[in-house]
Chain A
Amino acid sequence: MDAEREVLDVLARNAREDIDDIAAQTGLDAAAVADAIDALEAKNVVHGYQAVVDWDRVDEGKIRAVVEINVELDRETGYEQVADRIAKFPAVDALHLVSGDYDFAVEVLGENMQDVSEFISEQVAPMPEVTQTVTHYIMETYKDGGIRFEDGDDDDRLSVSP
C-alpha cells in the first residue's frame, strides 16, 4: 500500500490522529506522513475534517432528515446546475445524485422538524426544476461516518487474563 493510502486509512478512522501517532502506526516517518496529508488535501481527496456528532445526546440538539428530490431538466439546466444551487444552502449537509426512483438524496440538518419543513417547502420545493420532494426525518442514528453510536462501555472481558 502506498504512503498516501496508508495515511488515508488512518485519517478516515480518526482525523484527529497526530502526525507522530500516524507515523508510528504506519511505519512511515513523520515528514512522510505530513507530505502525504498535504498531498491528499491538495488533490482534494481529503476535503475537510469534522466531528461525528450524536446530536441526540446534545441538549437542544439538531434534527436530521433525508430528502428525496426529483427534478426535471431542460436544455439549459443539467444536474450539475441544480446540485450547485441546492449545495449552496447551509442547511444541506450532504448531497448525492443517486440512481433509482428519485434524482437527489439530500441530508438536511435543522434545529427542529419545523425548521427542516420550512426549509424544504420554502427554499427547495419552489426551485423551478424540482418536481417532487419526499422528506424522511431521521428518528435514531445507530452509526454515522463509520462510527457506531453506543456507550462504548460493553467490554465484559476479564480485566486480566492469561
Chain B
Amino acid sequence: MRLSDRARTLPESGIRKFFELAEARDDVISLGVGEPDFSAPWTARTAAIDSLERGKTSYTANRGMAALRERIADHHERYDQSYDPESEVLVTTGASEAVDLAFRALVDPGDTVAVHEPTYISYGPGIELAGGEQLTVPTRAEDDFALTREALEAAGAGDADLLVLCYPNNPTGATMTDEQLAEVAAFCRDEDLRVVADEIYSALTYETDHNSIATQPGMRERTVVVNGFSKAYAMTGLRLGYALGPAEAIDAMNRIHQYTMLSAPTTPQYAAIEALDRCDDEVTEMVEEYDRRRRLVVSRFNEMGLDTFEPGGAFYAFPECGGDDEAFAEALLEAEGVAVVPGSVFGEGGEGHLRVSYATSMGELKEATDRIASFVEGR
C-alpha cells in the first residue's frame, strides 16, 4: 500500500533500538522506564470501577466533564495558575494528545518551533506532523540543563514562532527557578514567541515547588500549559491529560480534538476527579519515595566517578558517562544486563550522558548501580 510521505519519512524513535535489545534478554534490570512503578491510588481505581458499574460509558463533553475541568482549574491554583474551567481547560487523551493538539492549533506549515534539548523525544515528530520545522536549542550540563536567554539567542530562537518548554525535564530531571523562567519569559515577550509548556512532571519536584512560565508577567496569554495524570498519579495507562491556556487557543485545540478524539475516555475522567479530590497523600508518599531513590542514585553515580548534577524533578538522573553514550549503554546492557537510555536519543546536549530512571524499586536500583559500578571499574 502506498504510504504518505509524512508517514514514510517520520523517523523511528531512538529508544526503539534499546527497547529491542533489552527485550531480547530476560535477566535485565531496566532503568530505562519512563513511567512510575507505583499503581494509581486505590480510590482513584475504585472510582473508575464504580463509573463502569454504573454504566457511565457514554461520551463526555468534548472539553471533558465539567466537574473534572473545575477540579483541574482548582488544582492549578497551587501553582498560582488561574484558569476558567469553562473556556480555558481542555481534557485530552493523555498529555501527549494535548501536546499534539497544541502544535496543530498553533503551528502553520513552515513555522519554526524552538525546542530545548535534551528533551522528551515526541516534540520533534509532533512539530513535523504539524508541518513545522524544529529549531534545536541545546542546554548544557554547566547550566544544570536550564534554558537560558543566551542559549536561545545563540540558536537564533528569536526568529522562531513557538517555544516548547519541558520542566521538570525528561530526560535530565532539571527544573527551572522563577528567576531563570523570568529570563526566558523576557526573551519570549521581546521576540513575540508563544510557548507550549509541558509540565507533566510538575507534581514531582524535590526541595522546591514547581514554577510555571505561564505565571510570569505577560506569559499567560501566550502560553499553553500541558499536564496530566500519568506521572503524579501513576495513571499512565489510563491516558488522561489536559491543556490550560487562553480561551482562543483552547477553543482551537478543542475543534481539532472534537474531530479526532471526540472526548477523552470517560472512565479515567472519573478516576481523575477522585485523584484530585482525595489522593494528595498518595502523591506525597510517592514523591517522598522518589526523593529517597533520587538521592541514593545520584550519590552512587557521583561515587563511581560519573558526574551527575542534582535533578530537581521528574524521576530521572542524567549522569555523564564520558564518551560515546550509545556505545556505553549497549556495552552495559551486554556486560551487566542493566538497561539505561543513551542521552543522545533525547537530542543535542544529551550526548555523553545516560538517562537513568529511578522509578524502580530501591532493591533493583541498588543492584543495578552495583552492576554499573563494576562495569565502570572494569572499563
Measured CB to CB, the residues of A under 8 A from B are 10, 13-14, 21, 23-27, 155, 157-162
Contacts and interface: CB of A to CB of B under 8 A. Distances in A.
Given A24-B299, A25-B295, A25-B296, A161 B366 contact: no
Interface of B: 13, 15, 18-19, 22-23, 28, 30, 32-35, 37, 120-122, 170, 292-293, 295-296, 298-300, 339, 341, 362, 366
Contacts of B33: 157-161
Nearest to B18: A160
A13 B341 CA distance: 29
A10 B296 CA distance: 12
A37 B139 CA distance: 42
A124 to B, nearest CB: 38
A162 B295 CA distance: 22
A159 B28 contact: yes
B300 A161 contact: no
B35 A157 contact: yes
9 contacts: A10-B292, A13-B362, A25-B293, A157-B30, A158-B33, A160-B30, A160-B339, A161-B15, A162-B34
Contacts of A13: 362
A24 B299 CA distance: 6
A25 B32 contact: no
A159 B19 contact: yes
Contact of A25 (B15, B18, B22, B292): B292
Contacts of A14: 362
A27 B19 contact: no
Given A159-B28, A160-B341, A162-B122, A21 B296 contact: yes
B201 to A, nearest CB: 13
A159 B300 contact: no
A73 to B, nearest CB: 41
Nearest to A14: B362
Contacts of A25: 292-293, 295-296
B127 to A, nearest CB: 16
A23 to B, nearest CB: 8
Given A21-B366, A159-B19, A159-B30, 10 more contacts: A14-B362, A24-B296, A24-B298, A26-B292, A157-B35, A157-B37, A159-B22, A160-B32, A161-B19, A161-B33
